[in-house]
Structure 1
Amino acid sequence: MQRSTPLRMTVAAVMAVGGLAFIQPASAQAAPDDRQAAFTTAAKTYEVPESVLLGVSYLESRWNANAGLPSNSAGFGPMHLTDAAALNTAPATDHHGQGEEDPRGDDSRPLTLREHLVAPAAIPTSLRTLEKAAELTGASREELRGDPAVNIRGGAALLADYQKQLGAPLSADPAEWYGAVARYSGADEAEAAKFFADEVYATIEAGVERVTDDGQKVGLKAVPGLKKVEKWLEKLKLRWPHRDGVECPLTISCEWVPAPYQALPDDDYGNHDLSDRPRNQKVDYIVIHDMEGYFDPSLRLVQDPTYVSWHYSVRSNDGHIAQHVKTKDVAWQAGNWYVNAKSIGIEHEGFLGEGAAWYTEAMYRTSAKLVRYLALRYGVPLDRAHIIGHDNVPGTLPTTVKQMHEDPGPFWDWAHYFDLLGRPLHGSGGPKAESVMILPDFDKNQPYYYGCDRKNPSADCVPQGSSSVWLRTEPREDAPLVKDIGKHPTGDSLYSVFDHSARANTGQRYALADRQGDWTAIWYLGQKAWFHNPAAQPTAVPSRGLVVTPKPGLASVPVYGRAYPEAEAYPASVPYQTITPLQYTFAAGQRYTLGLAAQGEFYRAVTFDASQHVMVRGKLKYYQIQFGHRVMFVKADDVVVSVA
């Protein structure tokens, strides 16, 4: 059952993560310049250039405290001091762990997943930096986790220690600290350490300032003309990864860790399909996932021919990337065969809601560089109709809607990600626009969720920044959440961090349905859905664009989870794939934003011999619409397109 509208937790909220208690720091109420002073003091104490300390911290956390919660690689505070005790060390049975989605998503060749037990690897020293910081500073582990000033002091002590180990001077010149900064990444690969350090130094040269998630004003003055002393990097003696064949920009650390294309007994095969994209099929999507697990175990899974696949994996602490499947080929990653055949899937280390963990700046940056590179290469527009989350992929049939995955979840910062992509999300069309884009202030937008603690799944999550807004049946805080008949056929939507049935997400565009005071209504899953949108702290902006509405004379329009061709398009050798509507419809008078136009297509790939694969193209035309949290499709013949 749906919970009643919850009360907001107090600042002193306590939360269990992996059996440990983490207390939201009192610094959330500190003066707005305390963080800056903490960097100044720590830099002087440990003789680290303040610009270096600020630059490293920015690449780890953007100077945020993150409510005292650990990152997806068990890092705490502005300096991302890692504490292996906060890791989820339970063996992984798959790389997602939520739901029963068939990642291949093709009912012409259903995939039965076997259980894959992957024990966690040995914990590297890079995930024990908080322990070393405690030794160097004399501070307790609890202080280093929860007090940002102490955490910054611990990071400064680590940098000074790394500098001494390299035999480098405790110089006032930031250029002399290049090796220590590279070491701070925790990377075993020379390329990953180098690119982490290069990002830090690019930040130092450019300068940056911002207000953190807890209201702290921090600035790093530009230090132009730095000439990094790269001899200190050479002293780290790190391995150079196998880069031959990878499809990555030269500005990120990337290596080839192939997923096997292999024949299996009983005419089976795994773990992806060969293709020749974009020559045989256009790439329309880049799908953003999280692993619901850690980097190394996930890499072991994707190298199993009996498992599933994705194109790239991104590591949390330093942004290092492994490529597994060539982008011309089809990975089994999105749970919808139509989307799989037209997409590239990128997995990010971490958990949707595990302790409400956060994603590092290093990971956001390298992921964004990869997506920019792929989007340019394949002509994929940089908008939320094409750069989608796994949670935006529709079910293929009414029977598969309920089991579709929900990552990367509400704590993925889409607005910041699009800033890094060079396509900031913004409004258009002014107050007369009849559609809106969801665009809350991530740090200030802290809706209630429960379910972040795997040991106590009914416990409240600690409040933190979110990219989602709740949708209600009426314009008031205590109104019920709107319903999703596909996800919950007989029940209510939930406030669970894993349930997006009644949530709209940053960057998504919806047709305007109504306004009342501080409340805005959109059309969502065939109903009017209200969200709080006060002028003083708006959660949406006007966004003029194309919308669809039923053609005159049609009482309602069916929606689909894939854009398959008409029966007449199929050759005799390829079984017709029935065009089956989902359980949703929308009525005359409702409008939904149009994301892209699509021609009906089906890629027949059910044999190991890729020469037997067939591309079927029809004349039937579809429009992709933002129908709920997920995108869906309507037949072009059923709707009228207009500007709103």
Structure 2
Amino acid sequence: MSRVPKLSALLAVGALALTALPSNAAQPSRSSLASAFQSASAKYDVPREVLVGVGFAETHLDGHHGAPSQANGYGVMHLAANNVNKTMSEASKLTGLPVAKLSKDDASNILGAAAVLDSYADQAGLKDRSRIGEWYSVIAKYSHSADAATARLYTDEVYKMIGLGVRTAGVSTDPQQVTPDRGAYAKVAPLGAKVQGADYPGAIWDPASTSNYQVGRTQAISTIVIHVTQGSYAGTISWFKNPSAQVSAHYVVRSSDGQITQMVAEKDTAWHARSANPFAIGIEHEGYVDQPSWFTDAMYRSSAALVKNIADRRGIPKDRDHIKGHSEMPGNDHTDPGPNWNWDYYMQLVNDGNPNPPQYNFTTWGNGVNVRSAPKLSASVVTTLAGPTRVFVECQVQGDTVTAGGYTNNWWSKLRDQKGYITNIYIDDPNAKLPGVPDC
């Protein structure tokens, strides 16, 4: 749902181990972002782990250059300005900072969120601020969710981040063994306890507001549209329940584990792709188009299984003419799912459920001559090397945005949970074929 400009896809060059970098180059330095959390925590007596947990659950600590989410939320901490969530104006009143600065300056945004959380803690009568488990109701209020179940979904995700610890964008927190005091929320059934989806057995049924979609169809279903939420999973579900949103999708997929919530029955017309709405099924994916860390393997696999099910049930060809991105639909000005969405891998999963994701791509060069292979899914990719001897071969695994040799690239990079180091191979025969990709 975003108009974020395309990222460049330059090849990272150099024989060195790669380190993940934040995707937004305009963000403050790592040290200044970490310092902002520390300062805000000290000023407003909000545990740093709570601040970082909220920020990571909302945005993965990326301010996105001040661009708004679909719910009109801004910055690392998603200070919002909509009809049900007014944390932006609250932050401005509490800190005296203008909205423009709270929206675009990460340190101010974090400070504003701390001020709001502090005020909510005061209202809740929270006495011992150091007891992280007792912040549950305060965090739930910060979410301004459409209902208690969605508020619990949101807050449980924050506590999950607190429990795991966060290490990204130069900000780190140690894992905390915390038992959240859910209070009244302990009686609220988690979202996953709701009934199965109306159409897909693997989904949870949690309907959107009836003000945000049209009952019935005026055209036969022929297209499946892939979206990115420009926001969090819980926030998107809450937004689709807001009668003023005037937007919805049939399904929403969570990044961390691929959980799916169905919000509009397929027989009805969700509002997600303008003129394509009458013949399309919309699937939203948690995250932001310019931030590849949201596009997990769990998300790809879960979404692909959903698409395969829909296509098989409805006789929709499983190809790119019928499974499209939002940006490819007529009459739309959005960019999602964007350049970080791995269409090749996704369509492979949709069509044959191959359990092995593509791990390696490669490039070659030597003595001033570059020979680059096209990205392939097969593990037996080879190419003929014309030109000089002593050709250098570089292999990397897919993953997060990295910088090496003066280039930034979000495609040929390192998976967070694998070593992924570059390997040097020298081939003396200029007409030799490269070894199979996994041998790199």
Specify the TM-score bucket, using the shorter chain as the normaliser.
0.5 to 0.7
2:176 — aligned with what? 223
1:62 Cα deviation from its structure 2 partner: 1.4
Give the direction of change, closer, same or farther, for the CA distance of 1:240–1:251 in structure 2 (3 Å limit): closer
Q: 2:59 matched to which residue of 1? A: 61
Q: Measure how far apart 1:323 and its partner are.
A: 1.8
The aligned residue for residue 133 of structure 1 is 91
Q: Is 2:373 aligned against 1:434?
A: yes
Higher RCO (C-alpha 8 Å, min separation 6): 2
Map of 1:309-328 to 2, 5 A cutoff? 311-312=250-251, 323-326=263-266
The residue that corresponds to 1:390 in the other structure is 325
* Closer, same or farther: CA 136–286 of 1 in aligned 2, 3 Å: same
Q: How does 1:228-307 map to 2 (within 5 A)?
A: 228-231=180-183, 233=185, 243-246=194-197, 254-255=206-207, 262=216, 270=218, 287-289=225-227, 295=240, 296=242
Equivalent runs, 1:50-199 vs 2, <5 Å: 50-82=48-80, 84=81, 123-126=82-85, 128-199=86-157
Check whether the contact 2:92–2:99 (CA below 8 A) recurs between aligned residues: yes
Give the direction of change, closer, same or farther, for the CA distance of 1:205–1:428 in structure 2 (3 Å limit): same
Deviations 1:332-382 (A, max 9, x none): 988999xx99x95314799xxxxxxx6699x968x99776445346767xx
Q: How far off is 1:261 after superposition?
A: 5.9
Cα separation, 2, equivalents of 1:52 and 1:32: 19
Change (3 A) 1:345 1:515: farther
Q: Report the Cα distance in structure 2 between the residues aligned to 1:374 and 1:190, rounded to whole angstroms.
A: 26
Give the number of the structure whose residues are more often strand, by fraction. Answer: 1
Q: Could you give the per-residue CA deviations for residues 77-114 of structure 1, whole angstroms, max 9, x where no partner exists?
A: 211112x3xxxxxxxxxxxxxxxxxxxxxxxxxxxxxx
**Is the 1:56–1:79 contact (alpha carbons within 8 Å) kept by the matching residues of 2?**
yes
For 1:375, the aligned partner's letter is: A
1:403-443 Cα distance to aligned partner (Å, 9 max, x none): 4756444757537xx99x999774346758832279xxxxx
Could you report, residue by residue, the CA deviation over 1:595-636 in whole angstroms, capped at 9, with x for unpaired residues? Answer: xxxxxxxxxxxxxxxxxxxxxxxxxxxxxxxxxxxxxxxxxx
Matched residue, 1:37? 35
State the one-letter code of the partner of 2:360. Answer: G
What's the offset of the Cα at 1:229? 0.5
Shift of 1:231: 0.3
- In the alignment, is the contact (CA less than 8 A) between 2:79 and 2:87 conserved in 1? yes
**Is 1:375 the counterpart of 2:245 in the alignment?**
no
Corresponding position of 1:210: 168
CA contact (8 A) 2:76 2:110 kept: yes
Instruction: Give the letter aligned to residue 63 of structure 2.
Output: A
**Residues 242 and 255 in structure 1, CA contact (< 8 A), matched pair in contact too:** no
Return the letter of the residue paired with 1:390: G
Larger radius of gyration: 1
Tell me how far 1:291 sits from its aligned partner: 8.7
Q: What is the CA-CA distance between 1:240 and the residue it aligns to?
A: 8.7
> Secondary structure of the residue that 2:282 maps to in structure 1?
strand
Q: How far apart are the structure 2 equivalents of 1:155 and 1:67?
A: 17
Change (3 A) 1:244 1:46: same
Amino acid in structure 1 at the alignment position of 2:36: A
Structure 1 counterpart of 2:218, one-letter code: G
Give the superposed CA RMSD: 5.6
Q: Aligned in 2, Cα 1:541/1:182: closer, same or farther, shift over 3 Å?
A: same
Deviations 1:299-351 (A, max 9, x none): 7577xxxxxxx523689xxx995521249x998988999xx99x95314799x
Structure 1 match to 2:233 = none
Query: Which residues of structure 1 form unaligned runs of 5+?
Result: 1-7, 9-26, 85-122, 212-216, 263-268, 275-284, 303-309, 351-357, 396-402, 439-509, 517-532, 543-644
Aligned residues: 330
Residue 222 of structure 1 deviates from its aligned partner by 1.2
Once residues 331 and 188 of structure 1 are traced to their aligned partners in structure 2, the CA distance between those partners, rounded to angstroms, is 19
Q: TM-score, normalised by structure 2?
A: 0.56
TM-score by length of 1: 0.40
1:270 counterpart letter in structure 2: T
Structure 1 residue identity aligned to 2:166: V
Question: Which residue identity lines up with residue 115 of structure 2 in the other structure?
Answer: A
2:4 — aligned with what? none
State the AA in 2 paired with 1:435.
Answer: A
Residue 511 of structure 1: how far off its partner (Å): 12
Which residue number in structure 1 is paired with residue 283 of structure 2?
346
Q: What per-residue deviation string (whole Å, max 9, x for no partner) do you get for residues 26-83 of structure 1?
A: x94855301111111211221111111110011112122322333332222211112x
Contact preservation (8 Å) 2:40, 2:111? yes
Write the letter of the residue equivalent to 1:76.
Y
Map of 2:430 onto structure 1: none
Give the drift of 1:193.
Answer: 1.0
CA distance in 2, matches of 1:291, 1:404: 19
**Separation in 2 of the partners of 1:424 and 1:42?**
41
Instruction: For residue 166 of structure 1, report the CA deviation from its aligned partner.
Output: 2.6
Change beyond 3 A, Cα 1:240–1:41: same
1:33 partner SS: helix
Alignment check: 8 A CA contact 1:286 1:371 kept = no
SS in 2 for 1:79: coil
Unaligned 5+ segments in structure 2 are 1-7, 9-24, 231-235, 310-317, 350-354, 365-370, 388-402, 414-440
Letter in 2 for 1:42: A
Post-superposition shift, 1:185? 1.6
Give, in angstroms, the shift of residue 141 of structure 1: 2.2
8 Å Cα contact 1:314-1:349 kept in structure 2: yes
8 Å contact 2:228–2:286 — kept in the other structure? yes
